[in-house]
Amino acid sequence: MEALAEHALAVFPLAAGEAPAVRYVSFAQSVQRGVTITELPGAASVNDLAVTNPLDVAVLLYEGEEVLGAQQNRTFDVSVLVAAETTLPVPVSCVEVGRWDGTRAAEPLAPAPQTANPRLRRMKSTRMRSELDAGRAPRARQSEVWSVVAAASGRHGVSSRTGAMHDVFETRRAQLNAVARAVELHPGQVGMLAAVGGRFLVLDHVSEPAAFASLHGPLLQGYALDALEVTPTGAPSLADESELLDRLLAAPVRRGPAVGLGESLRFASGGLAGTALSHGGELITLTAFAEDAPADNNAPSVRIGRPSHRRRPRGREGGLSG
């Protein structure tokens, strides 16, 4: 299927051929059912939040999702599958440097209408993979996150009282909505490959269509913010998309423990780098960034599984398969 394009943004939808075996819901789907994200009880931390899942189904927190409120706004550092009937601490980064409001410590955080933009997400992903390679916890570097947020505010001419990335999005919301409205959600969609200014930027995949549907709009808001900074150009072709997906699916990966359920994967090969989460033999999430990254020649020869049931990615028709 050809890309859906608006301004400098072009998006190729990706869809699965079969229903996933692992069932879960997104945070946005579950917040009205009693799932909460709060400051750590008794000792709030800039870079940690507590997720309480009282449901009988797992809850997905997707890398880059932003949550608003409590003592300051945050964005998730990694994708986390929170088990049913579990409370779990999760790593986050602050995207609101000028607020640490203890009077709101008991307030649950709410889903934001946007994820972090790919520029910020790619920087965080690069840092976390580096930390893992060095044998440390998968953490972004908070000073780097604040620097990227400040730079975005400057480029978009936004003066935020609390230095909030959310205020950058709010200032440009009408333009972001106009771009995002041109990229419709298709039945069965489980991901999308986004290009900005004719260059592939990021691929986002979530195996559960309903969970992905709840992330579709926020992800587009993040893509659109980066697209507003770029002069519109032609979209990549289907052949370009196919070639990128071939390189992605051939990338060797490193494996490690995940936060929450499943196993964490990371890769950097052929100009693509990113992370994935697998559970129960199924690829749950995959985030890949196009960047000038050297091949990881020391990685073990393990391949990324296709993100749904062994069918080649073919946009809407074929989907990612695993």
Give me the number of domains the chain comprises: 1
256, 267 Cβ separation under 8 angstroms: no
Give residue-wise pLDDT tens across range 286-313: 999 997 533 333 433 334 444 433 333 3
Q: Which domain holds residue 84?
A: 4-318
- 27-54 burial code (b ≥16 CB/10 A, e <16): bbbbbeeebbbbbeeeebeebbbbbbbe
Q: Which of 132, 105, 101 is nearest to 258 (CA)?
A: 132
Longest dimension (CA), the chain: 54
231, 243 Cβ separation under 8 angstroms: no
How far, in Å, CA of 131 to CA of 150, rounded? 23
> In degrees rounded to 5, what are phi and psi of residue 28?
-60, -35
Give residue-wise pLDDT tens across range 164-219: 999 999 999 999 999 999 999 999 999 999 999 999 999 999 999 999 999 999 99
Q: Please provide the size of the chain in residues.
A: 322
Give residue-wise pLDDT tens across range 228-285: 999 888 889 999 999 999 999 899 999 999 999 999 999 999 899 999 999 999 999 9
pTM: 0.91
